[in-house]
Structure formats: structure tokens, C-alpha cells
Structure 1
Amino acid sequence: MEIQTMKKLEKEALKKSGPDFTKLGLALFFMIGVLTFSFLSNGGIPNNMFLAIAALIGAYMAMNIGANDVANNVGPAVGSKALTLTTAIIIAAVFEAAGALIAGGEVVNTIKKGIIDISAFGGNSDPFIWAMMAALLAAALWLNFATMVRAPVSTTHSIVGGVMGAGIAAAGFSIVSWSTMAKIASSWVISPVLGGVIAALFLYSIKKSIIFKEDKIKAAKRWVPVFVAIMSWAFITYLTLKGLKKIWPQIVEILNSIPLVSIEMTDKPTFTTALVLGFIISVAVYLIVKARLQMNSTMLENNREAVNSLFTIPLIFAAALLSFAHGANDVANAIGPLAAINDAVLNGGISSEASIPIWVMGVGALGIALGLALYGPKLIKTVGSEITELDQMRAFSVAMAASITVIIASQLGLPVSSTHIAIGGVFGVGFLREWLHITDPRPTIKDDKLTIKDEKKNLNAYNAERLTLENKEHKNQNNYERIVELYKFIEVEEKLIKATKKHIKQTKKVEYVKRDAIKKIITAWVVTVPAAAVLAGLLFFMIKGIMA
């Protein structure tokens, strides 16, 4: 009997672990493939093995970015049921890879955000290569751990911490630009607060202009086109500034070929150009959405669910555009140090900027897509449903915050993290729900207490009458029927009092945002830079010890 039970448990364990082994196998196959390709394609170059190992680590880092960071782009859409998990993964994987390959920079800063002074290496490429390898591996390991515990953290901060820690280990504390680090630390507060406030404001605007109205469909026909147009304006501006820098000259040529259109040729889009381009497209979007609503409004019921459904398609576009912009920008977190190592190995020197070979860009693009597909669902579920309950309107507000906050911050020169903005947006809509509940004009705690007082009077009266009848020596048929009736009344009153007490308790302490999730995520944010830094420093000394 015990042997059969053990066999059943073993079979069940193998069944559950099967998918995990498959995922691990695919991840290892990709990393070994990158290692082999790098080694064979750069054969006869000194330090070729360093470059191959760095490519392996870069692939590992890219997969961790996909597993952790991309959830912020599609998590709200999945949590609101606008997209299924599978569809979201496909859309995000395609647009992340497209953003990295099409619009990823041809040249990246090898030292992310200029946090260390490369002159401290004295032109010696070996310790520089070791430092970049340590930084890349430390950031990847930290992201892997954060994904395991379902904590969405900033991949940018991870690589910043890695570069800082490796730089300190290689050349001392003087190598770090502490003013830059102070700006990055300030983003821990600026990003989530800005994201939360903007998301909450948009959600409140939607509620005030549509949901709180008696005729919701009439209000939706008027205001939904406006909100979707604002989203289009924000996203096109955001995408133009953050995702189209590499291919901007070609876009200008195409636009200038259109009659009556004349745009000044620049290396990258200016804020004014992005704003005007976004406005033109938003006007077209407004007219299209308004026309479609006029045609289909008769099919909509006058309720919240019908209004929610109107934000589904905009949310799908938002997930795709956010993924494209993220792929174009954050691929540098995986391939920046790899490009630096590649440049140092090929040229035997250290450069603050390095051209990115197409194979390096491919490692970043494919790694992000694969990491998302294999390990992204955990964080997508965390962002979409484990912080606060999201519907389409709330998810729409989070997406709006993600684009508008980045635009505002970039123009004001404020350091922000896209991860912190998105999670801050989720917090913002959750806390707004709590605030609206507290200020709800429906029955208050005081009204509930008065209800309990009245029901207790009724209960006491019913009990008194019941006892009188039950103690009566000679009871007739009417007495017995009345006693049964009184028992029913007493049961109803007791249930009503119990329910009202429960409502008072719920009203006193309503938490639409899960506090445990807040504590875990904020702790992970604060710890990210120092944790990656310490890990990178230890890895640098380990690599140096091996090579010495």
C-alpha cells in the first residue's frame, strides 16, 4: 500500500515538474546557442572566450528582462480581462522583439546613465571587461530572484546597481558619480507617485464623467472618444520620443513625401514634433471612435460593464505600443554591457559608446521575447490581479499613466522608472477605490448602528412575546402558530444584525490594495540597486581571482 502511494506521489511530482523542465531546457538551449554562435563567429580574436561567455550572460539577462519587466506593459490588460494571458504574451513578445530590432539604438551608452567614470580604468581593457561581465551577471541574477518571488523591479536599476558595484570593486568608490546615483534614488519616490497620481486622476475623470451619470451610454458617447483620443495623443508622442529614435530620419523622408507636409530633418524627433504628430493622429482617432460609437450605441446596455467594454480595444493597442517602446529602450539593459565587452574585445580599448552588431541586438530581442513566453506569466498575474482588482477602465488609466508620466518626466529632466510608474499606477487606482468607498454617500457606520439598535428592539420584543407564549399553561392552536412565526422573525432579525455588524467591520477597514503586496514590492525596489551592487562586486573579485 505504501509503495503504491509513493509511486502515485512520484508520478504526480513528475507531472507537475514536467513544464518546468521544458522551460529550463528551452532557456538553456537558447543560451548555449548564443554561446556557440558567438564563439564560432569570432574565432581568431584574442579574448574570444570572454566575448562568448559575455554573450551567454547577455542572453540570460535578456530573458530575465522579458520575464520581469514586460509584465508591466501587459499585466493590467490581462488583469482586466481585455486580453487573455496567451494573447498578451504573443502580442508583447512580437512587439518587444520588433521594438528592439527595428527601433533599438545603433549606438548605446556602454556605462548605463554615466554612473561610473571609465577613465578610472586607465585604458586597461581587462578589468573593464571583468567589471561589465560581473555587472551583467549580477543584474540578471537579481532579476531572476525577483521574478521567483513575484516582485516587479526595475531592470534599469538592476543594471545600474551592477555597474556601480563592479566599478567600485575594480577602481574604488571615487569611480561612481554619486550625484547621478542620488537622482536614480529619487526616482524610487518620483516614479510611483507620479504614476499613481496620474492614473488615479484619469480613473476619477472617467467615473465622474461617465460612471456616476444616470444615462451612462449618452455620457460614454460624448466622453469615450475624448479619452481614447487623449490616449492616442499620449502614446504617439511617447512612442515617437522613446521608440522611433533610430528610424526617425527614414520616417521624416516618408512624411515629407506627402503633399503639404514638411518636417525639418533631424537626427531624432523633437518634443514639439512628437506632440504635433500625436495630436494629428489623435484627431483622426477621435472621429473614428465617435462614429463607431454612434453606430453601435443602441446595442449597449446602460451599465458599468457596457462602458468597460468600450476600453477593451484601446487597451490592446496600449499593450502593443508600450511593448514596442519598451523593446526599443530597455533592450540596452541587456546588450549595453555586452556591446561594451564586444567593443573592448574587438578594439582592445574602452569606449563610452559602442556600435551594436546585429547579432548582439538579436540576442537582446529574442531573449526578451523568450523570457516573457517562458517565465513572464508569474509577474503578469502579479501586476494584473494580485495588487488590486482591475477592470478595463482601471487598466486604461494605468496605461495612460505609463505614457504621460514618462513624457512629463523626460521634459522636466526627472529620473523615472517605467516599472515603478506602472506599478505606481496600479497602486493609484487601488487607493482611489478605497477613497471613493470611504466618501461613498451610501449608508454610513452611523446609519448601520441605528439599524442595529432598531433591530435589537424588535428582537427583544419578539423574544419577550415568545417567552410569554411558551410559559403559558394552556396553549391553543393560534398560540403554537404564533410561536413558530416568532422563531422565524427572530432568526431573520439575528441574521440582519449579524450582516449589519459585518458591514460596519468591512466599512471600517476596506483594503482594495493588498498591503502585503505593497510591502514586498517597495522592499524589492529599495533593495535592487544595493543588492545588485554587492553581488556585482563579489562576482568581479571572483572573476579577477580566476583570471589572475
Structure 2
Amino acid sequence: MRTGRSFHTLDKDLGRVTNTEAAQRHAFRPVWRLGLAVLLLVAALILATAFGLGNTDYAALAAGLIVAGWLGLAIGSNDVANSLGPAVGAGAIGLLPGLLLVALAEVAGASLAGGAVTDRLANGIIDARALTVGIEAQIVMLSALVGAAAWITTATGIGLPVSTSHSIVGGIAGAGMAALGTSAVEWTTLAIITSTWLIAPLIAGAVAGLLVIFVRLQVLDAADRAAAARVWLPLLVGAMSGLFASYLVLLARPRLPLLSTMPMVVPAGVAIALIGAALMRRKVNAELILSDGKTGSKRLFRPALLVAATMMGFAHGANDVGNVAGPLSVILAGSATTGSFVMPVGALLMAGLAIALGTLLFGRRLVVMVGSGITRLNAGRAFCVSLATAATVLASSALGLPVSTTHVAVGGIFGVGFAREWLDRRRNKSRSPMPAEETRRRMLIRRSHVATIAAAWVVTVPATALLGGACCLLILRLT
């Protein structure tokens, strides 16, 4: 029995989360400096317009594109480690091919599945019918982008981990209230979104916990680990691939009649599941041959981590693209005067490309840090967390609900840690109880991470609402 190591898993993984946050702040410095320059440039554009040195419509469009572009770069550079770090650390893929793979997955997710979140942010938080003047709509969304960018830049500069999704939601609500009053805010929608920020990490934790129990019992603790891996890992990856393929087919439903789409879902899902299982079995066999009989979890889960990284990239692009494309679609609409704003496909594509560019240009240092032994999760646990996070984020994206990928991943880490502790208790019921001091120490560690997430949620929305509102009032007064 590994009694000396029992009950340490969750605390070690939470320590790695803390190290990852420190690595993110360090790797984010070039983007942070760029953010300061962007804010200064946008301020100059607004002041130039106020003094009659430029056209208001063009100034709003230029400022919106600049801030949206920076936010896309920031999202791509800061969150790539969630997708790619475990796969690179386990040796499943090289750094440059991994960055390219995740960048492509981000663009695909943004283009194919980002519409629901984008539409929610463009039309769901503020009643679009209240924006009766085109320039007023542009100013509201520009103010939301500037408020979110200012908060992210400030919070990062002082070392506070914040969420882009939380920031942009607060910015839109604050700017809308400043321009149109509290009645223009769709409070029910806002309540649903904020509730999702609490529920999504819990769902990811439950899914990740069930996955780690399954993997531990069926594969890692099997008498013949290699034989179990040949059976169960292909089945797991096949099921994952099949469900993902079915999801992609369902994405075509808005473009095709429902009756013509539904009969394609099951055959497509089954076909991709069989192909995925066959390819995974081949990869597992190859890894077992290369390992010379050593069946460590790192080698066994290399192929599965690669699939999970691709899904995570797609899910991240699908959800976080709305933070950029939602406000940008309203700004691009320009002269729209009534009704809801139609989401231009170009907004999704531009936002997706900005996120992908951030991944390629600034993600390298962070992925190397997170892929190191200091912050890298065990391969099996990383697979369960990545898969649970991707599934939860994709489901949120399908419902048009913006969530924080990082917070969902932390929820998955909690779920994996609690599941492993349950398994250890089940295996070693005769264990002597831990000293009260040790129990209290671990409880404090865990509560501190819950408090960090709660503080980010409680502080970010009011802060960005105030910044967005103040920016909106200032621009309206100047113009």
C-alpha cells in the first residue's frame, strides 16, 4: 500500500495550479505590455475624435478592432497551457506541432461552434432593441471591450488571476446601464450566466471524478495493465470521438432542416467512434512496444492526451471567441438601428484568428513551463481533467453560456482529487486518522483555491461594470 502518498494528490495538484498561475503571469508580460500600449492608443483615438480630428464611426470601429485584437491575443496566449501543457509534458506531441494543432482547433471551434456564445453576448445581456442609434450601440460595446481590457491589464499587473469571460460580461452590463439605464439589462440572462460560472466547475469535477475512478479501477489497478489499456483506452477514446463527431453534425442543424440532420448524427458518431478506437488501439500498442514492457501512465495516456488537447482547443475557441466576437459584431454592424444585431461570420473568423495568433506568438513559454515537472499533472489525471473540461465547455458553448475554461479545469482537478481520496479510503480502510493539524492544513489549502475562484467571480464583474460604465459615460460626453 502506498500509504505515505495517499491523500496528497489533491494538494499536490492544487500546488501545481498555483505554480501554473505564477507561470501565466510571467509568460503574459509581453502581452501585458502590449495591452498598456493598446489602451493608450485607444485613448488617443477617443480624444482625437472628441476634438473633431476624426470621424466618430471610423474611430469607434478602429478602436474596437484594436482592443478586440488584443483581447484575442491575450486569450490565446494565456489559456493555451490548459489545452496543450499536459500533452507536451507527456511527450505526446512536440511544442511547435502542438501549438499549430491547438491554433487550428481554436479557429475551427470559433468558426463552427462560436455562434451561440457570440450571439448571447451581442444580443442577450443588453436588450438590442434599446440601442436605437447605431453609434450608441458601437460606443456601448467599445466601452465594454475597453473596460474588460483595462481590468485584465490592471489585474495581471498586480498578480490577480482573472477571467476574460467574467470581464467582458461585466463590461457589457456596466456600459449598457451607463448608456441606457438598468432597465436595458437582461437581468434573467445575466443571472443564468453567473449561475453557470458556479455550476460548470461542479459538473466538470463530477465528470472528471467519475472518469478517474473508471480509469483507476479498469486500467491502472488492473492485474495486467497493458492488456487493460489495449481494451479500455481505445473504447474510451472511441466513445469520446464519436460523441464529438455527433456534436459537430448537430452544429450543421441551423443550416439544414432538423429532419435531414438527425438521421446523420448516429451513423456519423458510430463511424468516427470505430475509427477513433482503432487508431487509439494502434497507438497504445506502439507505445507499449516502445516502452519495453514498462506500462507507466505517461506512455499509456500519450495518444489520449493528444485527442483531449485537440478537443480542449476546439472547446476553448468555441466558448472564448464570443468574448471578442460578441461586442465586435455589434461594432461592425455600424449603422444598425433596430432589432438584434446579426452576427457576421467575419467577426467569428477574425476573433478565432486573433486567439490562434496569440497561441502561436505568446503561448510557447507558458506551455514549456506548464509542461515541466513543476506544474504538470500526472498523465492519467490530466487526461481526465482535460476531457471533463472540454465536455463541460462544449456543452456551455452549445447553450450560449460564456464560462472560464481555467475555473472549469480547476473544478475538474478538485473532482479528480476527491475521487482518488475516496479510492484510497476504499482500498485502505484500516488507515489511522490524520493528525488534526494536518487535516486543518489541507482544508485551508483547498479552501484558498475555492476562495480564489469565488473572489475572481465576485470582484471582476463589478470592477469591469464600473470601468465599462465610466468609459461609456466619458465617450458619450466627449462625442
Shorter-chain TM range is 0.7 to 0.9
Structure-2 residue corresponding to 1:60: 70
Please list, as runs of the form range in 1=range in 2, the aligned pairs for 1:132-281 lying within 5 A after superposition: 132-145=141-154, 147-148=156-157, 153-241=162-250, 245=252, 265-266=256-257, 273-274=264-265, 276-281=267-272
* 1:398 CA displacement: 1.6
- Normalising by structure 2, we get a TM-score of 0.76
Most deviating of 110-119 and 201-210: 110-119
CA distance in structure 1 between the partners assigned to 2:190 and 2:160 by the alignment:
22
User: Is the partner of 1:445 in helix, strand or coil?
Assistant: coil
- Aligned partners of 1:151 and 1:520 also within 8 Å: no
Q: Give the structure with higher Rg (CA).
A: 1
- Aligned partners of 1:107 and 1:354 also within 8 Å: no
User: Is the partner of 1:444 in helix, strand or coil?
Assistant: coil
Name structure 1 gaps, 5 residues minimum: 1-16, 37-43, 250-264, 449-500
Name structure 2 gaps, 5 residues minimum: 1-25, 46-53
1:301–1:410 Cα change, 3 Å: same
- Aligned partners of 2:385 and 2:412 also within 8 Å: yes
RMSD: 4.5
Structure-1 residue corresponding to 2:466: 534
Letter paired with 1:313: P
Superimposed CA distance per residue, residues 175-205 of structure 1 (whole angstroms, 9 cap, x where no aligned partner): 1111111211211221000001101110110
Please list, as runs of the form range in 1=range in 2, the aligned pairs for 1:74-93 lying within 5 A after superposition: 74-78=84-88, 82-83=92-93, 87-93=97-103
CA distance in structure 1 between the partners assigned to 2:61 and 2:449 by the alignment:
39
1:295–1:282 Cα change, 3 Å: same
- Aligned partners of 1:54 and 1:341 also within 8 Å: yes
Structure-2 residue corresponding to 1:400: 387
Q: Does 1:430 align with 2:421?
A: no
- Which residue of 278, 289, 307 corresponds with 1:287? 278
Superimposed CA distance per residue, residues 92-143 of structure 1 (whole angstroms, 9 cap, x where no aligned partner): 233323544577659953843612212333x123332221111111122333
Structure-2 residue corresponding to 1:356: 344
Structure-2 residue corresponding to 1:341: 331
* 1:21 CA displacement: 6.3
* 1:66 CA displacement: 1.7
CA distance in structure 2 between the partners assigned to 1:222 and 1:390 by the alignment:
24
Most deviating of 295-304 and 213-222: 295-304
Structure-2 residue corresponding to 1:129: 138
Structure-1 residue corresponding to 2:432: 445
Letter paired with 2:134: S
- Aligned partners of 1:308 and 1:391 also within 8 Å: yes
Structure-1 residue corresponding to 2:355: 368
Superimposed CA distance per residue, residues 315-348 of structure 1 (whole angstroms, 9 cap, x where no aligned partner): 223222332343345323212212212212xx35
1:132–1:141 Cα change, 3 Å: same
Letter paired with 1:166: A
CA distance in structure 2 between the partners assigned to 1:314 and 1:409 by the alignment:
23
Structure-2 residue corresponding to 1:72: 82
Please list, as runs of the form range in 1=range in 2, the aligned pairs for 1:310-329 lying within 5 A after superposition: 310-329=300-319
1:439–1:162 Cα change, 3 Å: same
- Aligned partners of 1:108 and 1:356 also within 8 Å: no
User: Is the partner of 2:455 in helix, strand or coil?
Assistant: helix
- Which residue of 83, 89, 94 corresponds with 2:104? 94
User: Is the partner of 1:116 in helix, strand or coil?
Assistant: coil
Structure-2 residue corresponding to 1:519: 451
Letter paired with 1:89: L
Most deviating of 165-174 and 379-388: 379-388
Letter paired with 2:78: N
* 1:167 CA displacement: 0.7
Query: Size of the alignment, in residue pairs?
Result: 446
Indicate the structure whose relative CO is greater, using CA pairs within 8 Å and at least 6 residues apart. Answer: 2
User: Is the partner of 2:358 in helix, strand or coil?
Assistant: helix
Letter paired with 2:331: I
CA distance in structure 2 between the partners assigned to 1:356 and 1:414 by the alignment:
16
- Aligned partners of 1:238 and 1:403 also within 8 Å: no
- Aligned partners of 2:88 and 2:371 also within 8 Å: yes
- Normalising by structure 1, we get a TM-score of 0.68
CA distance in structure 2 between the partners assigned to 1:22 and 1:137 by the alignment:
15
- Aligned partners of 1:61 and 1:137 also within 8 Å: no
